[in-house]
Amino acid sequence: MCKKRQRNVLVYLFITSCLLFSFNPISGQAIGGNAVFNFITLSPSAKTTALGGLNISHLNADLGMAIHQPAFLNKEMNGQLHLSVKPYLASINQYNFNGAHFINKANTTIGWGVQYMDYGTIPMTDIAGNELGNFRPNEYALHLSAATTYQKNFKIGASLKFLQSKYGLYHSNGIAADVGIMYAPYSGLTQWAILVNNVGVQLTKFNQKENLPFNITAGVSKKLANAPFQFSLTAQRLTVWDNTYNDPLYNALEGFKSPSKYQNVFNHLIVASEINLGPSVNIDLGYNFLRRFDLNIQNQKNSLNGFSAGCTFLVNNLQMQYANAFFQNNLNHHFTIIYQLKKRY
């Protein structure tokens, strides 16, 4: 009976994912920033930011990282609450809040949460420029996830998300799903993963139908047996060869050059490392090739573009994280706290 419940939760989420995929095939998916609900691709936790913005195979993943990769959910996250705040420029803020609960009888971990983007207060004007008041655009995603283990070595997870964007008088909503699988050999030092993100459909459009930011990602993480290091390699946007930002007018003005075939290969990759300084402290480092390529346009360059770093501190039941990523001359700060409400299984 327990195994039947476990299968039912994952089967329902998987079937939903397949139905959404049938509405929006790979050939129709958006890339290079040209997508609706693009906020769901942003880093959901400080640790993810430090590891380059996306990591689906990390061996010490936290609850925040499970927002992107549902297969990260596990029984040790039972009773945890995660809160993440990421301030941007001009009063733009990103918030992520989620929790997890382990169902022992079904051997399944359930995750839930919300991703919220607040773009601050913006003046509303008519066609002549006369101010008519203010409006506060925002976007949010509500998600429900489930994950379980299969034959000890495999972890399988799926998520279902409701999405909404509001810009004054205009709004749009949609639904999307994620499916992730991870495999870890018995040594426990290596983990392989694959993730299909944002398979879905726009239910209500702004002016015209737009595609969701579909992504297929593969990754591998490796811990060293006799040293406090873990290394990760993530390959993102695997359905597209050239995944650079596509804006012809901006590219012409800023002197953007198309990437070479070798650069296209590297633009899919993110490399990261974790340094464990003890049971309560670790340092994370990341390098995102695509971010560096997109930001290092001819007229604006920064030698630190693409790099990111962060740290994690564990004090009793409270985990505190800080990270920053370099965007031109700006530091993109990210703060996260994770609190353990219940005892771990």
Could you give the CA distance from residue 299 to residue 1 in angstroms, rounded to a whole number?
63
Q: Is the pLDDT of residue 29 over 50?
A: no
Residue pLDDT, tens place only, 283-337? 999 999 998 888 876 666 667 888 999 999 999 899 999 999 987 777 789 999 9
Is the Cβ–Cβ distance between 150 and 180 less than 8 Å? no
Distance of CA 115 to the CA centre of its chain: 10
Q: For 84, how many CA atoms within 13 A lie in the half-sphere containing its CB?
A: 31
Q: Going by C-beta distance under 8 Å and a sequence separation of 6 or more, which residues neighbour residue 102?
A: 74, 75, 77, 78, 108, 109, 110, 345
Could you give the CA distance from residue 44 to residue 18 in angstroms, rounded to a whole number?
25
Residue pLDDT, tens place only, 192-219? 999 999 999 999 988 888 889 999 999 9
Beta bridge partners of 183: 154, 192
pTM score, whole prediction: 0.87
* Domains along the sequence of the chain with CATH: 2-122+134-340 (2.40.160.40)
> Any idea what DSSP says for residue 66?
G
Q: Any idea which of 8-17, 97-106, 298-307 has the lowest mean pLDDT? A: 8-17
